[in-house]
Amino acid sequence: MCGITGYIGHREAYPIVINGLKRLEYRGYDSAGIMIYDGKNIQLSKTKGKVSDLESITNASPTKKVGKIGIGHTRWATHGVPNDVNSHPHFSQSGNLVIVHNGIIENYDTLRKELISRGYTFKSDTDTEVLVNLIEEVKKQEGCKLGKAVQLALNNVIGAYAIAVFDKTKPNEVVVARLGSPIAIGVGKNESEFFIASDASPFLEYTKDVVYLEDEELAIIKLGRAIKVRKIKDDSLVDPNIQELKMNLEEIEKGGYEHFMLKEIYEQPKAIIDTYRGRMLPDSGIIKMAGVDDNLNKFLNAERIIIIACGTSWHAGLVGEYLIEDMARIPVEVEYASEFRYRNPIITNKDVVIAISQSGETADTLAAIKLAKSKGAFVFGICNVVGSSIARETHAGAYTHAGPEIGVASTKAFTTQITVLSLISLKLAKSKGTLSDSAFRMYLQKLQLVPNSVEQLLKIDEKVKEIANHYKNATNCLYLGRGFNFPVALEGALKLKEISYIHAEGYPAAEMKHGPIALIDENMPVFVIATNKGHYEKVVSNIQEIKSRAGKIIAVVTEGDVTVKEIADHVIEIPETEEALTPLLTTIPFQLLSYHIAVLLGKNVDQPRNLAKSVTVE
């Protein structure tokens, strides 16, 4: 949801800011803008479209690229359509203050009216232009410095924000602040330069020292001085915590793949290993997970587990429900975080809540966590981004170690979330005695084989591409699965929708006859998961029902299958494993299929329209 990047130091700011914007484009790509301060004037360039469009504009005016201070923005529109005027940065009325903003100011209309009554006029429809003028007004009224004005103004704001503000009349500093949207500050040697960004990826090659602002914190970044961090509410000073980043540059580059999504699909064997390494010890027959071990009694005594998440993470949560109930026999409910937070749910201190999020920044999931905590529940997080807001907000948790996921369509996050959920289920089952020691050990052995099986599955890429070519012009598709693979059907449909814009629906296979069967004709491709232990005969009957209505069947089956092969139009085989672990395999062909269809249709795979990787607004 919008990317912010900035630089203040001894180097030319433009290349750092523009390259940073390219790395943050996964966060939004409706429009982009940049301001460079050349020592005298602010040079502004902004446009509807992508960072590459912005680059074309700035390339035509090289003088606009010269200067040692810059801030930039790539936008995912909230207030105001994506056009040149609504693009960030925004100026205050005097032209002295410039701002970039990620988030939503909910009371912007009231503030706007108040500012209009004081003589302010507005060029854009954005809440951001209201905020920069509010800061200017406070600065004027109080006669204070920029940092103080930002602090006072933000106390009048309702909503979410990560902002960077620059004042032409005090050009040696940048003020940043956050509430609900992330902001990272990279610290150069001896404070000779600073980098600002929504995540650390834009400045990885310059510094590994980073300060992540906490919610309701503001930082004054001045050259040659230590960062000053204050609480927005009461202006009290906070000690900035400088952390050393472990991430490296290769992890966030495409590494020879045409798209991040493809790279991330292929990274899954390693991502799964990285996720269970050190936690699962098949030879000793144990699972060690500090976050679970330290709170084992809370899990074991829980009256129920509530899983909250959004999108793909919600689908992983659904697999988690099947796993935990089947293995550990603890009742589980899976909720959309966005519904949970607003429906006055019944939560008690006997509940354990598991929040799942790749980015760790999803606004709805974060709000749902806060609600659950306020009602006394113990909240456990499963996140991919280390140090993210959700990782910090939860009582305990487990990281997925998938590495940075840049493609907007989530792939390796899904399989690593399922890996963590499998480990938790197995651990709880062993502790509760609902799974025998031999069954437990057998699962560990099988889970250890999964990365190899994924590797093997990835070799069918060419075959999946052929199938994609066959069905690329479909306008509707159905995805069917049962049991552990019902969530995979939902996930398969979501992947196709989001990157190829083909309408697709996921259904429990047996539910098809209660409605969707009416859709089936010779133009309807139906993707069915028919693994050999997952109610196989029942699914075969569902396949027959589709076939007798002329539907086209593309089936994902277990190696060596005979029956489905005879009926289906296309068959993709997955290596044999335990049914509970099949989602880690059955999802792979669907990821590849969506990828190839989108590429064949000429869609922008890594940046599908209207989407953003990290949804920090509700």
> What are the residues binding ligand F6R (CB under 6 A)?
310-313, 357-359, 362, 365, 409-410, 494, 498, 614-615
| Exposure string over 119-154, b if 16+ CB within 10 A, otherwise e | ebeeebebbbbbbbbbbbbbbeeeeeebbbbbbbbb
Q: Rounded distance, CA 588 to CA 574, Å?
A: 9
The CA distance from 234 to 472, in Å, is 57
Q: Is the CB of 312 or the CB of 422 nearer to ligand F6R?
A: 312
Helix (H) or strand (E) holding 411: none
Minimum distance of ligand F6R from residue 614's CB (angstroms): 6
Query: Are the CB atoms for 3 and 28 separated by under 8 Å?
Result: yes
SS3 content of the chain, % helix, strand, coil (to 5): 40, 25, 35
Q: Tell me, yes or no, if 144 is annotated catalytic.
A: no
Nearest residue relative to ligand F6R (C-beta): 311
Number of DSSP helices (H) and strands (E) in the chain, helices first: 20, 27
Task: Report the C-alpha gap between 110 and 561 in whole angstroms.
Answer: 65
552 is catalytic: no
Q: What is the DSSP letter of 483?
A: G
**Between residues 426 and 615, which has the closer beta carbon with respect to ligand F6R?**
615
Burial grade of 11 (CB within 10 A; 0-12, 13-18, 19 or more):
middle
Cβ within 8 Å of residue 368, ≥6 positions away? 308, 335, 337, 338, 340, 341, 355
Tell me whether residue 362 or residue 531 sits nearer to ligand F6R (CB atom): 362
How far, in whole angstroms, is CA 344 from its chain's centroid? 26
Q: How far apart are the first and last CA of the chain?
A: 10
Cα 277 vs. chain centroid, distance in angstroms?
23
Which residues does 430 contact at the CB level (< 8 Å), separation at least 6? 287, 437, 440
Nearer to ligand F6R among residue 124 and residue 358 (C-beta): 358
Tokens standing for residue 24: 């943050």
Cβ(45)–Cβ(55) under 8 Å? Answer: no
Least distance from C-beta 335 to ligand F6R, angstroms?
14
**Shortest Å distance, C-beta 193 to ligand F6R:** 30
Query: 555 by DSSP, 3-state: which?
Result: strand
Is the Cβ of residue 362 or residue 577 nearer to ligand F6R in the bound state? 362
Cα distances from 136 to residues 44, 171, 179, in angstroms, run 19, 15, 20
Identify the CA nearest to 596 among candidates 458, 481, 487. Answer: 458
Rounded to a whole number of angstroms, the minimum distance from the CB of residue 359 to ligand F6R is 3
Write down the least CB distance from residue 88 to ligand F6R, Å. 22
Beta carbon of residue 357, minimum distance to ligand F6R (angstroms, whole number):
3
Nearer to ligand F6R, 111 or 379 (CB): 379
Cβ nearer to ligand F6R, comparing 1 with 111: 1
Cβ 498 to ligand F6R shortest distance, Å: 6
- Minimum Å gap between C-beta 495 and ligand F6R is 7
Nearer to ligand F6R, 58 or 394 (CB): 394
Q: Which of 46, 50, 65, 613 is catalytic?
A: 613
| Residues designated catalytic | 2, 613
